[in-house]
Amino acid sequence: MKLFRNYEEYLDTVITMVRDFSDESLYKIGLAINVSSSLLDDREKIHRLNTTLHQCLWQIDEAVEIGFHRYIEQEYKKTRETLDYHKVNCKGECCLICKDRNKTINKLRNTNEREEPRIYAQQA
């Protein structure tokens, strides 16, 4: 059985999986999401984001210890279970999972804003 059903599910899961990653890692992942969104094929999108995720895992002791593949598999399954449970049990405004996700999404979005000046500079 495939671990990742499709890119949408993969991205949804990654957003919760990377919540404790460093700002630098989240910046890289934000860039990868930008690139992925311009690709057409789901497999390529997953591959692009997965490649960056692997780079960031060097900072996670447990991932280095047990191996990236095993770590991703373990965290992915755990996170999917949490998110499937969350889907039907979200507490709304005081929901911790939503709060965590919004915080991460904001950091990932900041990537775009940080990128813009550089793009403008290249055009000038």
* Footprint on this chain of Zn ion (rule: CB under 5 A): 90, 95, 97-98
CB closer to Zn ion, 2 vs 87 = 87
Nearest-approach distance from CB 112 to Zn ion, in angstroms: 24
Of 60 and 98, nearer to Zn ion (C-beta) is 98
The least distance separating Zn ion from the CB of residue 47, rounded to whole angstroms, comes to 29
Distance of closest approach, residue 97 Cβ to Zn ion, in angstroms: 5
Determine which helix (DSSP H) or strand (DSSP E) holds 91, and give its type and residue range: none
Per-residue b or e along 20-33, where b marks 16 or more CB atoms closer than 10 Å to that residue's CB: ebeeebbbbbbbbb
Query: Dmax of the chain from CA atoms?
Result: 50
Cβ closest to Zn ion, residue 1 vs residue 96:
96
